[in-house]
Structure formats: C-alpha cells, structure tokens
C-alpha cells in the first residue's frame, strides 16, 4: 500500500464534504424541523375528488397540466373521467370549489416540501382574495 500524503487534511475535507452533500437527508431529523406530517383539512361538498386520492397525491400536477392544455390550447372545457363522469376544467371553479381554503390544504404540503407553484400568481383563490 502506497502512503497517502496529507491524509489528515484529505480525510477531514472529505468528511466535511460528505456531511454537506448528504445534509438534506439528515438535517431535518437532527434539528427536529421536519418532524411533522402536514395536516390537510379537506372541506368536501362533493363526495369524491376528480381522481382518487392516491393518484392525486402523486400526480395532481400532471392532471393540472393536462387540464391547462385542454382548456387553453384546445378550447375543451370538459374533462371526462374513465368511468364517464364529467367535470368542468377549472382550477378555481372545480378544484377550489371543494378545497375551498388553499392555506389549509394546498399550501400545507407545498410549504412542507418547499415548492411555490406559479399558478397562484394568476388563478385567484376566492377565499383568499377576499382578505
């Protein structure tokens, strides 16, 4: 085995580098900041959502993008689900009709994972806009 010159400096540097690079994985646990699960308050008028909960949790952005292209680019404002049920394509009109309080629903998870969807810049939220 050849000798590793400056092994002290190298190993110290390597340790700090790895610590910094892996920090997203251990920081929240250590500091206790990420120690909560976002609590979503769902006010439901309709019995069910446009798609089932599992799909929405994972892919609601995909559905929103599809809706955006359907409504804006194709002029089609009716979404027909696989089982034939029809929904009006509208973020404020359909989605937010049930999930009325954005800050108790949408913002909870978005805040937790640190995303700021740009949608809200233009698509006003009826409840919030009254503030």
Minimum CB separation of residue 129 from other proteins in Å reads: 6
* 122 scored as a contact of other proteins (CB under 8 A): yes
Query: Does residue 123 belong to the site contacting other proteins (CB under 8 A)?
Result: yes
* Residue ranges in 71-110 that form contacts with other proteins under rule CB under 8 A: 72-73, 75, 77, 92-93
Reported as type and span, the H/E element at residue 46 is none
Token digits for 130? 């009254």
| Distance, first Cα to last Cα, the chain | 71
- H or E element in which residue 34 lies: none
**Which one of 33-41, 42-50, 105-113, 123-131 is the stretch in contact with other proteins (CB under 8 A)?**
123-131
Distance CA 4, CA 6 (A): 7
Number of residues that bind other proteins (CB under 8 A): 14
Joined tokens for residue 48: 């069910």
Residues that bind other proteins (CB under 8 A): 68, 72-73, 75, 77, 92-93, 118, 121-124, 126, 129
């Amino acid at each position: 085995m050849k000798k590793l010159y400056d092994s002290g400096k190298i190993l110290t540097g390597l340790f700090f580098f790895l610590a910094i690079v892996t920090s997203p994985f251990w920081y929240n646990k250590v500091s206790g900041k990420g120690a909560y699960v976002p609590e979503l308050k769902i006010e439901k008028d309709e019995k069910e959502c446009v798609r089932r909960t599992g799909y929405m949790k994972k892919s609601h952005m995909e559905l929103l993008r599809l809706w955006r292209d359907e409504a804006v680019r194709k002029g089609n404002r009716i979404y027909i689900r696989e089982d034939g049920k029809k929904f009006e394509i509208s973020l404020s009109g359909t989605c937010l009709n049930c999930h009325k309080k954005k800050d108790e629903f949408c913002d909870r998870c978005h805040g937790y994972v640190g995303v700021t969807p740009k949608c809200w810049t233009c698509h006003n939220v009826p409840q919030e806009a009254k503030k």
